Structure 1
């Protein structure tokens, strides 16, 4: 037995013991081991070498390095130079790239470069693996880790509070994890089982489910499984590469509505635009379609409920700077209640989806296109364009001069259908004997044929003139023409020329306050900018009659109308007007992160009418729009309008976001409307609170009150429990629409360290 110094051990360790034939005499002598090229071992103590057995023993602070990047740390190591094995014992840690193995013992074969980590726990940050037999292999240049009778967790504790266990787990780092015969344990208790699960690292892929209860669904469980399709197969690994088509397969169970299934296909090459690139199919065999969220009586509908939705964009360039775009946007529904019943969030935002096929040729200065809008769903009111051609010019200099031109032109055939359901209700009302003659006349006008052809063009010239430093005047002049034919029941025609004159004047005054500094309010110097401005707009036109067919028309609003004719989209509601707007915009600017930051803005203005196109007013309300963003943890917006005489109405809309403490997030809002000539009065208040009680518990609330009739329209309560490695959330809500109350409860469980690699119990109060 020879005792080697640690320095000598570095030069001689992990060697292959060999017998060397000396050329002079042919003696077979046992020599010290020679250095292999792929392994190096060091230790804090001296090493012992036995020439007869070929064993090298290391005691204390053992470190093993290989040319593959593998690093091993242990208390003891025994090197068998004949079998080319390194046996490691005591607090063994093995590092290779982002992978960490930890345990009491391990074996490394430096001849085959194989590592036996049976009984060790493996970490692929933030994943922890525990298996009876853990191995790894390289497939097409990528490392794959395989565990037999293995468990997976992200809770890095001696006794994790959850495990996902399976007969076999395959981990493809940064790609996916495959489980066979999976069981989910909360502590030591099994709570879920699946025969097979391939869970990609992408949160959209793999298995997701949403449990809960709603008043119009009963108890429900929504299941979704996402996989990627398309791409090319790699001949070496047999796996698909460059996959671009996301498919999400759905199977839903609702206690009151029965079973439903569907699939969503999404083109991930259009990830930058989440509103394009998908085909969605969904079918529900509704066991009780008469159930309503609103409590209103429904017309009878079929038990077969379905949706087909297709949105896609094809874009190409033949010439640099010129894009050609084809858009398709179609939604076909089984009935008028489908969105309300199965997609309430989409129903709130867009209850009557469009059906459009469009082409456009777009450059920096011009857009030429054609589109058609058709009515696939005949149960709601919609306009059709069969088709419409248009040409829009952006504002640009005329022949390089200081005069700017912008304009738009269109021609098309238009039709508006009331919708079968609305038409049925209107005809039913018209047949009632107690309907007044005035109402009968109005109902007849609603049911009249609404169609026409229209040619429209409008062109405008403007020229900014800097009168002096800080004072700019921009005169505008525009002209246009609209021609209608085949209009209404009698196929009328209408000719309407348009003439426009406008003037924009603006001034600018500034004052700097260098001494203003406040870390608390986010101030580092202050610049006050005052913009007094005046706009004059005069439009002369041959107006359509009030009973004429109008498709592009005004809708009720409490905000002031735009009077920039070039951007006025309500073509059929062109009216004679003469309007003067006077206002002042105040801005307070400060420095933040070496950039200018708008600390506060207040825009105050009023309109004076020489010819009011809507309500025969002399003056509008006095408008004040305030935006205050002093610090990242607080912001305020206030929009007000008050009448200056007895003819106006009052509006006050306030929004406050505030973080008074690092554990408290607060949102408050108030919307008040009184005495509007069209829109109903409202006095609406809402509040949202999120409070982190401690590191384990959080709670959130949301309330919405209509103070006009003292109705609590919506209330939500949510509770969150942080279990270090995963978070559980439970939410409740109730909605009161004054006819029927709707309620629901939802559950959410997600892994904190790796939310995409769990069985996400997705929560969304739809």
Structure 2
């Protein structure tokens, strides 16, 4: 018998307010038609608590579960529902589908003849499903799992029995792996972790002129929640076989860390930059551990040891580009609200790497803090340690060591005048004691050095908003201009001893940026000399609203040093630095870094980049890097490099990228990358060809194929765009 729509409203009213429908936690079961029409029926009794619905029904259990089916039979007192036809159940973040289902909203018990469910990143389907709330497991027979979300997956694993612990694991007996409809592998027992990346093989086949044909292989497995391991087995036709394990571990309150060991008997080791033969037994050992021993008490150990300086250059290119001279250290740090105590130990484990050993170096730092109720603030640093300078093997530099104790204290008086002008005067002093030096080529006796410093920083920040400015062309919705000028004056009279009278451990390191001028940011303790300088800085920022968020239309910083009393090795003005970022449109980014020598009227450094990315189909990036030769950075340190990168996605399955590095000084195309991407539904593949012109050495040519499972990607999104060499497997 057809029922008018008001019958459904009346039923919903009784269902919503009847005490018989309230569970112990007062969650309500509500029934309603999926598409109210004259064909739908809902029959039931509030007293009996039994309801029958046909022709499309929705059952809701608060916000915990929603069931949709063609027909249902519900006992709202027990919470059990029997559903038939196009059944869909959404519960606990999972979506179950089938043709018939028995489910209890209160106990979460479940039974189904057939089912299909998503258990990220897997999909499972099969027969004979049961769910038990007691042990939080789902069981099924004759089931399949895959990461392919299509009706006919390209690969799947068929199992005689399947047990799923949501969010934790999948276990199966009698598992057969299918590619399409073809069985290719059988496992008596099969298991996969859902709370961590699963065990997997990573293979990178290819060819490199330095290696010959190669196959880089790694098997990653996950023993438990505290240990992830991998075993690397690499074959390079010209160089031999390389092996070694990797592991990441967690020890609970005792911290976490990683370790890796790699060994290769190199059949063609070659020679090093000093024309000395490289040993054929080559290895690399890395270890790091970090632990929070107590509240705000941390300890860190880093060990980087390798057989020769070229080991990571030859076989771990990504690691070498990130840090060509890794350090080993031990560090313990205790942090308090106003102080920190740091113990640093550092030793020379690689004799080919110049190192300042700290055996150890202990530092107590006082953070900037108010002195009682006064307007004055205090900050300071106190350190003591035994330091040893160890030159690299074969260097003509002498090694030496000395005890050093350093104490720095500074008083600051921050003020705001007129409500907008920030003035921060400061005055401080430093006393450093050096013990008698030990070693060859140095004969410094025990001595002390005193340093006085004073100065002040003056700055302000002003802004203005133009609320009526609109432009569709420029994607502008209101404008805000922020300007921040500042002047920082530093005066340091000549110390009681000049740097040449002291053993040098912590010295100025050549940099493309201006070094800090005020203490304690300037930390080249042994290189402190006189200063009478003004650092002039002007920052401008123009912001607008795009897509509901604040976006920087322009961000520009200018800064330089005006030396009122320059030393013999200094000019009146330091280089003028300009850093500019522009986003005239959301799809165009322009960046510029320039270092201009004011007195010589020449550019010492320039780095420009333009990136166009109007959509996800194509993007273009063009850049230019210029660096004037500077002996401080080593011989032949100059660059005049032009960079380009073009990406185009032909369709959903194919894409390509080209990247070029052209050195204009001698007209050499130094590096070329050509990559073709292929979407394989569950996998992505990349075929990469690289040419490297090494000038005085034979060209380096590499071809490699990398695969990545979408469910467990090998690289982070966009990593191959910024670090092309990742696609070569090294």
Range into which the TM-score falls when normalised by the shorter chain: 0.7 to 0.9
Change (3 A) 1:405 1:541: same
Aligned residues: 659
Contact residue 648 and residue 676 of structure 1 kept, 8 A: no
Change (3 A) 1:654 1:585: same
1:31 match: none
Alignment of 1:677-692 (within 5 A): 678-679=632-633, 680-692=637-649
Q: Is 2:532 the counterpart of 1:578?
A: yes
Alignment of 1:489-508 (within 5 A): 489=440, 490=443, 492-508=445-461
SS in 2 for 1:572: helix
> Quick one: which of 222, 225, 229 aligns to 2:217?
222
Q: Is 2:660 the counterpart of 1:696?
A: no
Cα distance in 1 for residues equivalent to 2:569 and 2:258: 46
Change (3 A) 1:106 1:305: same
Using the TM superposition, give the Cα deviation of residue 386 of structure 1 relative to its aligned residue in structure 2, in angstroms. Answer: 0.8
Task: Give the TM-score, by structure 1 length.
Answer: 0.74
Q: How large is the RMSD of aligned CA atoms in angstroms?
A: 4.3
Cα distance in 2 for residues equivalent to 1:199 and 1:611: 69
Per-residue displacement from partner, 1:693-713 (whole Å, max 9, x unpaired)?
222222223322222223333
SS in 2 for 1:661: coil
> Quick one: which of 658, 670, 689 aligns to 2:612?
658
Contact residue 449 and residue 497 of structure 2 kept, 8 A: yes
Q: Is 2:577 the counterpart of 1:623?
A: yes
> Quick one: which of 200, 204, 209 aligns to 2:197?
204
2:435 match: 485
> Quick one: which of 571, 591, 597 aligns to 1:643?
597
Contact residue 199 and residue 207 of structure 1 kept, 8 A: no
Change (3 A) 1:730 1:296: farther
1:434 match: none
Change (3 A) 1:727 1:743: closer
Cα distance in 1 for residues equivalent to 2:727 and 2:163: 28
2:717 match: none
Per-residue displacement from partner, 1:355-393 (whole Å, max 9, x unpaired)?
222222212321122221122333422111111111111
Query: Which structure has the higher relative contact order (CA within 8 Å, separation 6+)?
Result: 1
Contact residue 671 and residue 684 of structure 1 kept, 8 A: yes
SS in 2 for 1:708: coil
2:167 match: 174
Cα distance in 1 for residues equivalent to 2:460 and 2:88: 71
1:747 match: 706
Q: Is 2:443 the counterpart of 1:449?
A: no
Using the TM superposition, give the Cα deviation of residue 296 of structure 1 relative to its aligned residue in structure 2, in angstroms. Answer: 8.6
2:686 match: 729
Cα distance in 2 for residues equivalent to 1:169 and 1:86: 23
Q: Is 2:675 the counterpart of 1:718?
A: yes
Cα distance in 2 for residues equivalent to 1:312 and 1:126: 31
Alignment of 1:291-330 (within 5 A): 291=269, 299-301=277-279, 303=281, 305-317=283-295, 323-330=296-303
Contact residue 627 and residue 638 of structure 2 kept, 8 A: yes
Per-residue displacement from partner, 1:436-488 (whole Å, max 9, x unpaired)?
xxxxxxx3xx1x23211111122222223434343333222221122222224
Segment drifting more, 366-375 vs 648-657: 648-657
SS in 1 for 2:294: strand
Using the TM superposition, give the Cα deviation of residue 408 of structure 1 relative to its aligned residue in structure 2, in angstroms. Answer: 1.0
Q: Is 2:231 the counterpart of 1:250?
A: yes
Cα distance in 1 for residues equivalent to 2:465 and 2:484: 15
Cα distance in 2 for residues equivalent to 1:194 and 1:288: 37
SS in 2 for 1:492: coil
> Quick one: which of 317, 322, 325 aligns to 1:352?
325
Contact residue 515 and residue 525 of structure 1 kept, 8 A: yes
> Quick one: which of 352, 370, 383 aligns to 2:343?
370
Cα distance in 2 for residues equivalent to 1:6 and 1:504: 82
Using the TM superposition, give the Cα deviation of residue 548 of structure 1 relative to its aligned residue in structure 2, in angstroms. Answer: 5.5
Contact residue 455 and residue 491 of structure 2 kept, 8 A: yes
Contact residue 732 and residue 746 of structure 1 kept, 8 A: no
Change (3 A) 1:391 1:615: same
Cα distance in 2 for residues equivalent to 1:614 and 1:765: 50
Per-residue displacement from partner, 1:271-298 (whole Å, max 9, x unpaired)?
9xxxx821313243x2425346999966
Cα distance in 1 for residues equivalent to 2:82 and 2:470: 66
Unaligned runs of 5+ in 2: 9-28, 43-51, 74-80, 715-725
SS in 2 for 1:678: helix
Change (3 A) 1:183 1:365: same
Contact residue 647 and residue 658 of structure 2 kept, 8 A: yes
Cα distance in 1 for residues equivalent to 2:327 and 2:415: 43
